[in-house]
Amino acid sequence: MIRCIAIDDEPLALQQIGGYIKKTAFLELAGLCESAFQAIALLENTVVDLMFVDINMPDLTGIEFVKTLENPPKIVFVTAYSEYALEGFRADAIDYLLKPIGYGDFLKSANKVKSWFDTQSQKPAEIRSNKDFLFIKSEYKILRINFDDIKYVEAMNEYIRIHLINNKPVMTQLSMKSIEEQLPDDRFMRVHRSFIINLSKISVIERNRIVFDGTVYIPISDQYKSVFQSYLDKNFLT
């Protein structure tokens, strides 16, 4: 399934695109946004593969919005003006839809997107690392992540989210096993099926949970408790 959001300041147009997404078997609707600012907030906590973005929005146009994103999902621009199509393609859009949009036009564009994702799925994600950092190959770019910048790694279904010290989390389509094999085991430890933590970033342990930033509580599961306790015993001053 391709997880989608639609962004349009016109409520009827937004509901139409949302309805088309729900009607298409290989698309999944992850959210509807009436402005670029709503979309920015949604993207902070939601994995999105594809965005249908209206170009002509007040305050922040669709193209301006896409250019603010460091690692954007794939884009289909929506516009009532065909002259914006070229500018949309310069912003790396897969396609554009011209209003008014019929379902046939939408499905043709959606199939074009699906073909792109089908091609990408045949190219496995890669991780390359050395003793200080790793490179993660995603669909859009290659990111360098320093080990010292990682607080913890979180599993999210088919994705992982790498939480960093001074940057927003990085999400990529990798397994926990893949990332665990590349992280140095003297610096990182899996404490739960869904969490790998940077041992050097631990400052508080409370009731069998590791506390980050006073608000994030990572549980230590029974499966990993003995290994984690051994680490504590070796570093505990009495």
Sheet holding 204-206, edge to edge: 204-206, 209-212, 216-219
DSSP 8: -
**What gap in Å lies between CA 221 and CA 193, rounded to an integer?**
8
Check if CATH label 3.90.340.10 holds for domain 2-121.
no
| Per-residue pLDDT reduced to its tens digit, 23-40 | 999 999 999 999 999 999
State the first-to-last Cα distance of the chain, in angstroms, to the nearest integer. Answer: 53
Residues 6 or more apart whose Cβ sits within 8 Å of residue 119: none
pLDDT above 70 as % of the chain: 88
Cα 147–Cα 149–Cα 154 angle in degrees, nearest 5: 85
Compute how many other C-beta atoms are within 10 angstroms of the C-beta atom of residue 211. Answer: 15
Q: Which CATH number fits domain 126-234: 2.40.50.1020, 1.20.120.420, 3.30.1330.80, 3.40.50.720?
A: 2.40.50.1020
Q: How many Å apart are CA 219 and CA 144, to the nearest integer?
A: 28
Q: How far is CA 43 from the centre of its chain?
A: 7
Query: pLDDT, tens digit, for every residue of 163-214?
Result: 999 888 888 878 898 899 889 989 999 999 999 999 999 989 998 899 988 8
Q: Rounded to the nearest 5°, which phi and psi values hold at 14? A: -65, -45
Prediction pTM value: 0.57
- Residue-range domain boundaries for the chain: 2-121, 126-234
What SS3 string covers 153-177? Answer: EEEECCEEEEEECCCCCEEECCCHH
